[in-house]
Chains A and B, each alone.
Chain A
């Protein structure tokens, strides 16, 4: 808007044929404050009407300096928001080139209203899926059977993991035989979604729900 205003000053002032007056280019006014702008010229001066405050609101009426006067008083509206600029164009009678004074409303600018902070968007959870393979002797014993029926295994299944008991005689190729049985071997699903990679280090068979839940920590 400011650049546009300046362009208008030049264009309209160009209609007059006289040396431009000497005016302050920038003035600051607090909301409601009266400021006096001194214009230095030997010629008559006039103000350029129809400037706006950058928000589309005209302010010109009461600010027009009497013809031939060497200064004028500007009162920034009390409701003006800090930072609002009022651009006033000047020219000397008989001069072609005009100049502009920009009055900027001071005060503490309203805090920039930003949208409330949003929790940083968590990246989509890594779709890690684990296979909990309980490697055990071929004969199923009561304690292993009890451990396999703990409800926490179903909780892991609900999260997309898999569990299964595997007797030694059915040990799949690629899973090392743990030193002691029963034991838990964890495998992580590969990117192909079909194969698994053994997580090094067999663990003891968890025998409580909390121990099962702790496997992913």
Chain B
């Protein structure tokens, strides 16, 4: 019996490519979600390692210079080099060096290639890549992966990762279909996408009683690193996922610098329920979950609450 095929959440919208830019452009989400405020509070991702489980990475892209901690391909017959572009784009959003590209711009990066250059992969490749990331020091695992049906065996892997304090971040998917997000265990952070107007993306899967959305993040017309050099626009919950992975790494790094305890996956999800800015109908809802991620409000959590004496 052949394994189910998973891959890049479809449809993916590709935009213009910027190959010869002198300076990196800026992801609009940086300003919309107040990323610089968190960065100024110490949230640059330093000391964290973000694993990008995707189509590989362009190891030579300047956005990752000196910070790639390991690469490995789990796709038979394909080297880790990213001939698709999806993985490199995601890696750039999570941890690109340029402050307008990488939400956290100082983390180490692991690139586990579990989707082929054609953009698809098997359950086994994904599980193997996940295990490799856990074993190689990942503190955040970003998985912009879609497909039909539940990913077999991921429940145990997520449980193992959470027990180790590793934060899995997964895409809600692009089918705009209720129940479309059930491919991942609910113990991960599930990310939906919004556009620059703050409205949920037309392709972004809503949550359901089975898997609630953990947060929404910028996912439409996102500029990031282009495999082969330069930059390009892409849209999808795939883009929102590394954005949140970068936020998680940034918060963790800031907390470590301030002597605060690292947060667990469930604590992050709880944090999003109280610190995300509500959108849509008042209160948590299926389109936005608890609302749009806000790094300014996350930075405020770095201040201890007062002890009344």
Which residues on A are within 8 Å of B, measured CB to CB? 131, 133, 138-142, 145, 148-149, 162-167, 169-170, 172-175, 187, 190, 192, 194-198
**Separation of A197 and B297 alpha carbons in the complex (Å):** 25
A145/B303 in contact, CB under 8 A: no
B274/A172 in contact, CB under 8 A: no
Q: Can you add 4 more A-B contacts, CB < 8 Å, to A139-B290, A148-B300, A172-B307? A: A140-B274, A149-B296, A175-B306, A192-B309
B291/A140 in contact, CB under 8 A: yes
Which residues of chain A are within 8 angstroms of B290 by Cβ–Cβ distance? Answer: 139
Which residues of chain B are within 8 angstroms of A139 by Cβ–Cβ distance? Answer: 273-274, 278, 282-284, 290-291
A170/B305 in contact, CB under 8 A: yes
Most buried by B among A139, A172, A175, A192: A139
B309/A166 in contact, CB under 8 A: no
Q: A149-B296, A162-B303, A165-B297 are in contact. Are A138 and B274 (CB under 8 A)?
A: yes
Which residues of chain A are within 8 angstroms of B276 by Cβ–Cβ distance? Answer: 140
Check: B183 CB closer than 8 A to any chain A CB. Answer: no
B308/A187 in contact, CB under 8 A: yes
B41 to chain A, nearest CB (A): 11
**Separation of A84 and B165 alpha carbons in the complex (Å):** 90
**Separation of A174 and B308 alpha carbons in the complex (Å):** 6
A166/B307 in contact, CB under 8 A: no
A172/B294 in contact, CB under 8 A: no
B31 to chain A, nearest CB (A): 12
Check: B277 CB closer than 8 A to any chain A CB. Answer: yes
A194 to chain B, nearest CB (A): 7
Check: B89 CB closer than 8 A to any chain A CB. Answer: no
Which residues of chain A are within 8 angstroms of B303 by Cβ–Cβ distance? Answer: 162-164
B309/A172 in contact, CB under 8 A: no
A195/B308 in contact, CB under 8 A: yes
**Separation of A174 and B306 alpha carbons in the complex (Å):** 10
Check: B34 CB closer than 8 A to any chain A CB. Answer: yes
Check: B269 CB closer than 8 A to any chain A CB. Answer: no
For B309, give its contact among A138, A140, A163, A190 (CB under 8 Å): A190
Most buried by A among B283, B294, B296, B306: B306
Select from chain B the residue with minimum beta-carbon distance to A192: B309
Q: A141-B277, A141-B278 are in contact. Are A172 and B297 (CB under 8 A)?
A: no
**Separation of A175 and B290 alpha carbons in the complex (Å):** 26
Q: A140-B274, A142-B277, A142-B278 are in contact. Are A166 and B308 (CB under 8 A)?
A: no
Which residues of chain B are within 8 angstroms of A170 by Cβ–Cβ distance? Answer: 274, 305
